[in-house]
Amino acid sequence: MRLYGTHVTQFDIPKPPDSVQTLLIAGSSGQASNWPNGAGQGSTLAQGTTEGNAHIARFTGVSTAGALLNFMVNLVSTHCSAPASGSSLTTGTTAGSTGNNIPVNGQRLFQIPSWSTGFSVAALSSGYVMVETWQRA
């Protein structure tokens, strides 16, 4: 039998997370937080970040009934909101913008933008969102 690797890091992250946060989401509300390892996280060292900062984040939502929770995440601002209908995608993917509200259906892995100092999550129903972060190796 041959060993194999995967390009989908969500399925094969080789070590436990460096930090884990759990946020309680009440129905039709949101929560915001700083990244757990300090300000100026980022995904590239070229933009002034340090190796001790988080670069990958996995968001997992669980409803209060124990089912997967569908929610929205904004990787760069505290302005995340859950849409009542349609999409809440906004424009802006640069430093100083309010970013994009990205839908997450249960679980999703992200690379943290280099200008991000915090994030926010929102859902239409109640549940918990767990945020696991990994530092650059």
* Residue 78 within any structural domain of the chain: yes
CB atoms within 10 A of CB 86: 6
What pLDDT is attached to residue 15? 80
Residue 100 lies in a domain: yes
Question: pLDDT tens, 14-38?
Answer: 688 888 999 999 877 889 898 876 4
Report yes or no on 13 lying in a domain: no
Q: Is residue 72 part of a domain?
A: yes
Nearest to 20 by CA among 31, 34, 36: 36
Tell me whether residue 3 is in a domain.
no
In a domain, 83, yes or no: yes
Nearest to 131 by CA among 29, 54, 27, 79: 54
Residue 5 scores a pLDDT above 60: no
User: How many distinct structural domains can be found in the chain?
Assistant: 1
Q: Locate tokens 């915090």: which residue?
A: 118
Domain, as residue range, for 44 = 18-135
- In a domain? residue 116: yes
pTM, 2 dp: 0.75
Assess contact for 104 and 61: CB atoms under 8 A. yes
Q: Please name the amino acid found at residue 106.
A: G
Token pair 């994030």 in the structure block, residue? 119
| CATH classification of the domain holding 115 | 2.60.120
The DSSP letter of residue 112 is: P
Query: Is 5 a member of any domain?
Result: no
**Given pLDDT bands bounded at 50, 70 and 90, which one contains residue 41?**
very low
